[in-house]
Amino acid sequence: MQHSAAAQQLTPEGWLPPPPLPHHYDDHVSHANAVRFGMWLFLGTEVLLFAGIFTGYFTFRAYFPEAFDQAARHLSIVLGTLNTFLLLTSSLTVALAHHNAERGKNRNAFWLLAVSVMMGGGFLVIKGFEYHEKFVEHALPGKFFNFSEITAPGGPVFYVVYFFATGLHALHVIVGMSLLTWVAVRAWRKEFSPTYYAPVENAGLYWHLVDLVWIFLYPLLYLV
Amino acid sequence: MASTSTSHSATEHPKGGVGPLILNWVALLALTATTFGVSRLPIGNLHLPAAIFIACVKVTLVVLFFMHLWHAEGSNRIVFVVSFFFVIVLLFFVLADIATRFPLSNSRIPPMPQVDQKLVPSGMPPGMPAPTGSHTGEEGHR
């Protein structure tokens, strides 16, 4: 039962034969290109989703510069930098997993994906500690704000932006971890080969987008 | 068409090696250190542009090498470049609006002279709440 996929024979190279090609594609290259293009289109819409949040950030920053300055000083630069390191490194391991999957090295891809998922988990744990601190301080959005160390007007607005931006990003981290887990399981089953690795590539593209968003969030929230 | 069923004939050549990926990672970490260092420099108003510029460089590296847009088909590049272009359009017009706000009054009427608030009688019109707090001097600008 565990090896329902193993009913199929591994090819001599050591991977499962690729799934049948949908009949409207000439070959697996045109199929892979179409799949990849679809993912890029989706990522384009994701960019526009986060663009709205960044627009809000810049707008409210222009209205309440002192509050944004004070609030940024109450975020932990150490934790933010550590999280940046985790996400950048997990992007590397995901890229390496893609590199191995497209060469049929499924075991390598599995371990690299597993490490990536763990780094994503580490990111969320650290983010959880940061959120916990904000809840204890009542440094919270809107009417829940009751944090005496931010005296300039606009403190509650900063935390609306902060929690919405990082919260939506954390949601993407969770989705990305789920996708990476799913393709890791498939790599364990040796499903990927030079003719079929689109799931690893697309899950990886999603993960890199999560990284991209954080690359902008980190300096804007923590540093400047 | 006959060649499509074999595993090697129509294979895309795997592009790039492990070396460039690791080099890219090192560059990203170096840029992270740079953005932290720059944020501690006494450069005043340039902090935000500098941080955005470095973030753009990092994003470019991730997109080109981790996401393989360097090798990708042109159509994929168009999608991503266009979506970033629209982000810039959005940000530009919103920020241009905010940066050029002015008091919503008739500009031909000369502005009110600045009056020392301490000299103004403290009595309010009937029915108005008494002035409170320390922000009263600033309220007129918002």
Q: Helix axis angle, A65-73 relative to A155-188, nearest 10°?
A: 50
Buried b (16+ CB within 10 A) or exposed e, B36-66: bebbeeeeeeebeebbbebbebbbebbbebb
What is the pLDDT at residue B9? Answer: 36
How many residues are present in chain B?
A: 142
What is the pLDDT at residue B71? Answer: 83
Q: Which among B53, B37, B79 is positioned nearest to A37, based on CA atoms?
A: B79
ipTM: 0.89
Please answer yes or no on whether B25 and A89 come within 8 Å at the CB atom: yes
* Closest CB from A26, A33, A224 relative to B4: A26
Distance CA(A206)–CA(B95), nearest Å, equals 29
DSSP state, B3?
A: G
pLDDT in tens, B110-120: 666 666 666 66
What is the 3-state composition of chain A as percent helix, strand, coil, each rounded to the nearest 5?
A: 75, 0, 25
pLDDT in tens, B41-76: 988 889 999 999 999 999 999 999 999 988 887 888
What is the pLDDT at residue A23? Answer: 87
Please answer yes or no on whether A27 and B21 come within 8 Å at the CB atom: no
Distance from CA of A184 to the nearest CA of B (A): 18
Give A23-223's CATH code, choosing from 3.30.70.20, 1.10.645.10, 3.90.1150.10, 1.20.120.80: 1.20.120.80
Q: Which among B71, B73, B57, B72 is positioned nearest to B24, based on CA atoms?
A: B57
**Does B8 have pLDDT greater than 80?**
no
What is the pLDDT at residue B108? Answer: 63
Mean pLDDT in runs of 10 for chain A (224 residues)? 59 88 88 93 95 94 92 93 97 96 94 97 97 93 88 91 96 98 96 94 96 96 90
Decide: A101 and A123 in contact? Cβ < 8 Å. Answer: no
B26 inside 8 A of chain A by CB: no
Decide: B31 and A211 in contact? Cβ < 8 Å. Answer: no
